[in-house]
Structures are given as C-alpha cells and as structure tokens.
Structure 1
Amino acid sequence: MRKLKIHFLGGSGTVTGSKFYLESEGINILVDCGFFQGTKELRQQNWLPLPIDVSQIDVVLLTHGHLDHCGYLPLLVKQGFQGTILGTAPTLAIAEIILMDSAKIQEEEAERANEEGYSKHHPALPLYDQEDVKRTLPHFKSVEEGKQIELAPECSAKFRYNGHIIGSTFIELNLFGKQFVFSGDVGRLNDDLLDAPLQPEWADYLFVESTYGDKNHPVEDVEGILQDLVARTLQNRGSLIIPSFAVERLQSLMYLLWKLYNKNKIPNIPIFVDSPMGTNVLNVFGRFPEWHKLSMSEYNNMRNHVTLVSSYRETWETIDDPRPKIVIAGSGMVTGGRVLTYLKQLMDKKSTTVLLVGYQAEETRGRKLLEGAQELKMFGKHIPVKAQVEHLESLSAHADQSELLHWMGNIKNIPEKVFLIHGENEALHTFKNKIEEQQGWQCHIPQLHEVLEIML
C-alpha cells in the first residue's frame, strides 16, 4: 500500500486558479498551475505562497494554456520550483503568449497605479514581470498528444485531445496501478474550429470540471444574432464592441464574421481585432494546422478579412474612426486588456453595443455588465453604461452539462471517487446530484486548500 496526498490548491469551489498537487513517496506532481481571477478575495490568493514545499514538485502537467490553468507558473519558479513543465506543443506556445501578456499587463497596471495614485500599495508592484516569465520558459518541454510519457517508476501520463482550445487535453495519469483522469476544460461536441473531445475509458479517480454543470447552453441562432447586431450597428452609426478571450473565442468570432460576409449576409463593415495576444494566438493556428479544422486557405482569407491592430496609437485611431465598426478586443471578462480603453471612450454612447460572449466569472466587469450595472470602474474612474449590452452563451468553449455527461459516458468502470472541480457553488452541487442520480457514482466537492489522503 502506498499513501497519496491530494492537495486542492485552486479550481476548488471556484472556476479559477486550477492547481491539483499529488504528493507521494515516488513522485510529486502538480496538475495545472493557474492564476486566480474574479473576486478580490480570490485574486488575493495569487499573492500568497503555496502551502506546500514548491521545491519538492518534480513535474507540472498542463492541460492547456489559459491563464487560470498556467498563470501562476512564474510564481512557482520564484518560489523554488526546479522541475519540468509538460504540455502539448500548442499548449506551451499559448502559455508563453499568455504569461508574457499577463506580465506586461501587471507591469503596466502597477506603473499606472503609481502614476495616478489609486493603489493602496506604495509602490504598487506586479506579481511577476516579463523577466520572471523568461526564467520560466526553460522549464517547458512538449509532449505528443496520445503518447504515453514515463514520469517515474510506476508512473506515466498521457495527454489526450479535449477540444477546449488549440492544444488542450485531458490527462490520464497512471500512478501505482491506479488511473487518475483530469478533465482540464472540456470542449464542445460541435465547434467551428476544433474537433469533438476524445473520451476517457477508465478512471479510478476522476477530476472533472463543472463550469456549466448546472445548465445546458441555449440553442441560439448565432449567425442570425450577429447579423442583427451588425445591422443595428450600421443603422446607429455606432460601434459593436466584443470583449473576447484571446484564445479560441477571438478566432471563432473572426471565422463567424468572415463566413457571414462570404455568404453575403453582412456587408463589408470594418472589423478591427485589437488584441496583440489574440494575433499571436492566430499565429499559433498557422503553426499547428493539424490541431484545428481550418484549411490554410480559409485561415489566410479569414485573417486578411480583418484589420489587426497592434499599437496603442492604432487603438486610438480605431476609436476615432467615425465609421460604423466592429471591434473585437481582449479581455473576455473585461478584467483588463485593450477592451477597457474602448469601453472607457465608447460605453457612454447609446449607439454602442457591447456583446459579451461566454462565461463571466463572479465580480468581473463582464458579470457586472450582464447584471445590468449602471456604471463600471475602470482606471480608477466610474464610467456610465449607456451602451446596449447583449450576451451570446452558445459560443462558450466549455462543454455544458449534457456534453460533460457525454464526455464521461465512455468510462467502463465505476470510479472510486469523482472530484467535481472548476465550478461555482450552484453548478457544483447541481452537477453532483445529476451524476449521482444518473451514474450512481460517488462525488465529492473539494474546498480550497483541502488535503485528502488515499491509500493505493
């Protein structure tokens, strides 16, 4: 018998900060190493050292490159991590882009806070900077999708396609004869850009995301909605601003708008993509064509149909452009990035429409807009909301309840335990009841910093 401790260091009782630490006599493994986003209480967790000896971690396994799954890596290295960080080649490419962008945003926000004096901290400092990211990258090592990787005696891992974003996987970890399956974030069954997720067939211990564990995505006529919003924007001679996640969502929106234009369903309205990170991710699509559905001619045509904005000078030129226009800019939950500049200048105009796409975490500006906020605080100032706010849920890159159940539906054994992670309270409990009722499997909802000991 061998003793294994599972530390739930993030993504537990919340949808952000995913970190799951498996501590054993043979090897110590951290699955994902995410940044906390959302409420102030959660964000403050990023400033605290992990309650484990970081120098003892042998390897980090990354399911994918989103900030809430990889954003804490530079801090891990600062705290003494000396091991290897494994992920698929596109995941590591995305992670590098996201970490550099995160560091840059933190540096800029600290600088702005110091100049304008709106931080309680003197001086305000970034959690990590671009040099910290550069010190993290040498730890990266890519793995092949579907190939078994030997990590230590009696321990191997396999990264398998799960269709959430380019490069994303679920992880099958075989440890001392038991199969631990970490879902990562599971993608959609029918996605414009990505194939359907593969499914696990055996899980002794299953860690499954529950972002939409309490609901199914609505069936929406996405093309029709976009068509109507473009027509409204032209009629109002205004701006359609779409805050977007730079990875996958931004490329999906580009593809949908290009497709509508190709079908003569919308005119050739100027489309500006203002996300340096999104542009970098677009380049990853070009580098890894085997990871998505687009042909290279479709990819190039879609790319040429939009104006890629790079500098802040071009951002202001776009804002001042009097033509009706579509602007897709980061970030998706309106927590930072270029979209804040557009909203600060254009959100108080009735001719502006803000289209939110996908999940909006608690206490983010995106969630506040959804809930009908009359004003938003940005750069230390309160900006009135006069724009019309719309929401598209079905563009989510996360599987909904029925798709999650389908993803688990090929498991041939009865897992010893199912851990429900990466979800808000209501989603977690609804999903727990659904799995126990439908599958009869024993589910547990771990709390942040819970430590569970099991014998193998």
Structure 2
Amino acid sequence: MLTFAKVHFLGAAGTVTGSKFLLEAYGKKILIDCGMFQGLKELRELNWVALPVDVKKIDAVLLTHGHLDHVGFLPRLYKQGFRGRIIGTTPTLAIAKIILNDSAKIYEEEAQKAAKENYSKHNPVLPFYTITEAEKTITLFESVAEGEWVSFSDKISYRFQYNGHIIGATFIELDINEKIFVFSGDVGRVNDYLLAPPKKPEWADYLFLESTYGHKLHPKENIEEILSKLIKETIQNKGNLIIPSFAVERLQMLMYVLWKLYKKNTIPNIPIFVDSPMGNNVLEVFKRYPQWHKLPMNEYEAMCNHINIIESYRETWETIDNPRSKIIIAGSGMVTGGRVLTYLQQMINDPTTTILLLGYQAAGTRGRQLQEGCHEIKFFGRYFPVKARVKRIESLSAHADQQDLLDWLSEIKNIPEEVFLIHGEQTALDAFRLKIQKEKNWNVCIPKLHAIKELMI
C-alpha cells in the first residue's frame, strides 16, 4: 500500500518572504517556519488572512532561523488557536523572542500614531499583533541541540544543521519513514565576517531549496574600500551617512567592519551611532553564544565600546540635532519601518546625506524604491522628496548566491525525487530551475502559493 506525505506551500512560494510549509505525515502536522510576508501590498495583506488549514491541529513549528519572514507570523498563529511546540536552536529562539517582542511594540506604537494622526484607512487601527500575544507565543518555545536527531514520533525524526546566514540559523532534515526531507531555510555565505561556512546536506529525497539569489552571483566588491571612500566623502560634504540595516547579523557585521577600518586607521574617528533596540539586544545574543560565531570576545567588547549605542528616543533626536558628520546605522534594512524613518524624515531631502543600502531589497519595500531611484518616498502618511544620494553594496548579503547554492548541494549523494524552489522572485526561480536541470538533471518544481503536493513515503 502506497503512503504519502502532504506539503502545503503556505508562504515563500513564488515570492521570497512569508516562509510557511505545512507537512502532514502519519497523523502528524509539522509547520516548517512561520514567517510574515513583506514587500508588495498584495503580499502584506495576506498576513491578515487566516491560514487555510486547521491551525489547532498543528503539532509543532520547526524554525530554521529567527528572521521576521520566518517567525513573524507566530503570534497570529497563536491567535488562531495554535498551542503546540515551537522548536529551534537556542540562539534562534533568543533572536525570535527579541524580534517578536520588538515588532509587537512597533506595531502597537504605529497603530496608536496612525489613529492619532488619522492617516490609516482602517477604523479601528489595530496592531498586527500585541505585546501580550507575542509574550504568550514565546511561552511555547522549546530549544534543541544542533546536529542531533530528535524523535518526533515512531515514524518521524528531525535534525537541525548549522547553516551560516545569521546566528543560530540551520537547515532542517526530517526523516519520515526513511525518506529524507530537507528544508534549506536561508543558506549563508562561505566567507562571512562573523560566521563559519554552512554545513551541507548529504542526502535529500525531497529538497525545499531557497532561491533568493538563484539567478545571480554576488559582485566581487572591496567592501572596506567602498565604505572608507563613502565615509571620507561624507566628512568632506559635511553630511551624514545613513545605513538602514537588518538588526540581526548585518548590523553586527557592519559594526565589526567599521571597527576594523578605524583600528587600521583607514577611516578617521567619525562618530558612529547604532539606533536599533532590536539590534542592541541581538548583540547580547552574540555575547551569550560565542560558539555560534567567529568574533573573539575581546574584539566584541572593543567594538561595542567604540560605537555609540542609542538606547532612547531622546538620544535619537540628540543624534539628529548633532551638527557633526556621522554614520547612523538604524533599522529596518528594507526601510519598511523602525528608527531609520525618523532620520530619513529629517535628512532625506538634504543633498549632503548619503543613504547606503545593504543586501536584498524586496519588491514593494521603500528600500527597493530607493534602490530604483525614486524621486519621492512615502512614510508617516506623507511624501518626502529624495534629494539624498543613494548607494548600494550588494556583496554584504547574508544569502548564498547561485554558485554558493550549487556548492551547498555538492555533497548530496543521491538524486532527489523532487526539488522545490522556494524563497525567490519569479526571475530568480526560473533561472535557478534551468541551472539545476542543466548542471544536475534533477526534477525541479516551482510551487505556487497555497499549492498542495503529495509525496510518496
């Protein structure tokens, strides 16, 4: 008698964000990741729609890592009735806790601001989730060790394997009746400032593979040279360098690179301000889990002492009013919200301001608009003219590029029965499908959102 597992593609199918894959097998229901959609309005609106499955019957959520597009839907899942276990590595759960608490606070503040200033179409204006809902969700967290098989039932076991990308990140292997399902999560880079190279899967009967940069190679850029040039130009122009940054990994990496440049006398002693409450908390995670990264603790302490960590909104405004040229690193990385908007509100119409974008900017985000040269940008309910110059560094991305991904597959000993390309925009998905078919002659599928696949086990 044939037995099948069923996979529901509830997110990150045909798009990069919203990672959610529901796996049903032998009476168990396991959700791999539970992320928010980001970017285009039609995607963001999906966040407000209940999942088309019985959430109360999901046994557990396995988290590949702590980014918002992999964990940010968890409090909504809780609100819809989920009470199972939320399982991940210890640093992943620490990051997820920070992100959920911080984003809940931002949602509540933004809802209050929108209601007070009457710039939302919705009445009443509700936060996506509340601090209370985030806190209740966090009570379901359960940590597991990296690299060890864990029994889920008599027919199912799983393992988390180190994957670079951000602290705590893993790919997930599920053994279902001796068929291996591999969910890549987000694959990291081989040469990373802070993290070791990812481990590689050795067997995959069914492979669910990220494709964010499946269509391109990261440029060979001299990061330190580009940064030092921009900083010297900023000082010469008596302006400010604003760097919207993701709070997890990118911010810590950037701090480390700037510290290195200062230590080598490559840049002058320009004030550096980090304004990201979430990013500050993530720094503590680096301190608590030194075995998960390459940054020596003495370097960590020196870096933190050199950089001004902003801890209050009052300090944000003191930094804005400071007439000296400075570097400001603030969340969020795709300019979708956070403290960076407060700085842009004051400085984006000044030609002496430089905005430096790092890494992937999803379609529909303000970061993508700036990257594509928009002349004005909307936030806080009004349009702001963009007179600042906009620069970009692509090679600081925490995602593997096409060659990195092919290398990551290089130790798989078998021919997978099927490969599902996920976490990509259509151009990247199509290009990567053709590349894998040409190089490996594997059976590759690009699933659509809400598709359901039956896989023989």
TM-score using structure 1 length: 0.99
- Which amino acid in structure 2 is aligned with residue 252 of structure 1? M
- Which amino acid in structure 1 is aligned with residue 415 of structure 2? I
Alignment pair present for 1:310 and 2:311: yes
In 2, the alpha carbon distance for the partners of 1:202 and 1:83 equals: 29
Assess if the C-alpha contact under 8 Å between 2:271 and 2:307 holds in 1: yes
Assess if the C-alpha contact under 8 Å between 2:216 and 2:401 holds in 1: yes
- Which amino acid in structure 2 is aligned with residue 455 of structure 1? M
- Which amino acid in structure 1 is aligned with residue 212 of structure 2? T
- Which amino acid in structure 2 is aligned with residue 288 of structure 1? Y
In 1, the alpha carbon distance for the partners of 2:413 and 2:91 equals: 30
- Which amino acid in structure 2 is aligned with residue 12 of structure 1? A
- Which amino acid in structure 2 is aligned with residue 49 of structure 1? A
Alignment pair present for 1:52 and 2:83: no
CA-to-partner distance for each residue in 1:339-386, whole Å, 9 max, x for gaps? 000001001001100000000000100000010000100100100000
Assess if the C-alpha contact under 8 Å between 1:26 and 1:152 holds in 2: no
Tell me the residue number matched to 1:428: 429
Tell me the residue number matched to 1:215: 216
In 1, the alpha carbon distance for the partners of 2:143 and 2:26 equals: 26
Q: How does 1:76-91 map to 2 (within 5 A)?
A: 76-91=77-92
Assess if the C-alpha contact under 8 Å between 1:63 and 1:69 holds in 2: yes
CA-to-partner distance for each residue in 1:118-154, whole Å, 9 max, x for gaps? 1111111012100001110111000101011111111
Assess if the C-alpha contact under 8 Å between 1:167 and 1:291 holds in 2: yes
In 1, the alpha carbon distance for the partners of 2:158 and 2:224 equals: 40
Tell me the residue number matched to 1:175: 176
DSSP-derived class of the 2:173 partner = strand
Tell me the residue number matched to 2:265: 264
DSSP-derived class of the 1:29 partner = strand
Tell me the residue number matched to 1:327: 328
Task: List runs of 5+ in structure 1 lacking aligned partners.
Answer: none
Tell me the residue number matched to 1:118: 119
Q: How does 1:4-403 map to 2 (within 5 A)?
A: 4-403=5-404
In 1, the alpha carbon distance for the partners of 2:78 and 2:111 equals: 21
Shift in Å at residue 395 of structure 1? 0.2
Assess if the C-alpha contact under 8 Å between 1:104 and 1:130 holds in 2: yes
In 1, the alpha carbon distance for the partners of 2:257 and 2:453 equals: 45
Shift in Å at residue 176 of structure 1? 1.4
- Which amino acid in structure 2 is aligned with residue 441 of structure 1? W
Q: Which runs of 4+ in 1 moved over 3 A?
A: none
- Which amino acid in structure 2 is aligned with residue 276 of structure 1? P
Assess if the C-alpha contact under 8 Å between 2:26 and 2:155 holds in 1: no
Assess if the C-alpha contact under 8 Å between 2:20 and 2:34 holds in 1: yes
DSSP-derived class of the 2:139 partner = helix
DSSP-derived class of the 1:152 partner = coil
In 2, the alpha carbon distance for the partners of 1:455 and 1:292 equals: 38
DSSP-derived class of the 2:10 partner = strand
Shift in Å at residue 82 of structure 1? 1.4
Shift in Å at residue 5 of structure 1? 1.1
Shift in Å at residue 21 of structure 1? 0.3
Q: State the identity %.
A: 64
- Which amino acid in structure 1 is aligned with residue 148 of structure 2? K
- Which amino acid in structure 1 is aligned with residue 175 of structure 2? N
**C-alpha root-mean-square deviation of aligned residues, in Å?**
0.6
Shift in Å at residue 26 of structure 1? 2.9
Assess if the C-alpha contact under 8 Å between 2:276 and 2:330 holds in 1: yes
In 1, the alpha carbon distance for the partners of 2:242 and 2:66 equals: 25
- Which amino acid in structure 2 is aligned with residue 329 of structure 1? A
Assess if the C-alpha contact under 8 Å between 1:26 and 1:153 holds in 2: no
Query: Which moved further from structure 2: 119-128 or 9-18?
Result: 119-128
In 2, the alpha carbon distance for the partners of 1:257 and 1:78 equals: 42
Tell me the residue number matched to 1:418: 419
- Which amino acid in structure 2 is aligned with residue 115 of structure 1? K
DSSP-derived class of the 2:152 partner = strand
- Which amino acid in structure 1 is aligned with residue 314 of structure 2? R
In 1, the alpha carbon distance for the partners of 2:115 and 2:149 equals: 49
In 1, the alpha carbon distance for the partners of 2:196 and 2:371 equals: 30
Shift in Å at residue 108 of structure 1? 1.1
Shift in Å at residue 24 of structure 1? 2.1
Number of corresponding residues: 456
Shift in Å at residue 454 of structure 1? 2.1
Assess if the C-alpha contact under 8 Å between 2:420 and 2:447 holds in 1: yes
In 2, the alpha carbon distance for the partners of 1:417 and 1:115 equals: 52
Shift in Å at residue 163 of structure 1? 0.2
DSSP-derived class of the 1:113 partner = helix
In 1, the alpha carbon distance for the partners of 2:455 and 2:443 equals: 15
In 2, the alpha carbon distance for the partners of 1:162 and 1:305 equals: 30
DSSP-derived class of the 2:143 partner = strand
In 1, the alpha carbon distance for the partners of 2:396 and 2:306 equals: 21
Tell me the residue number matched to 2:3: 2
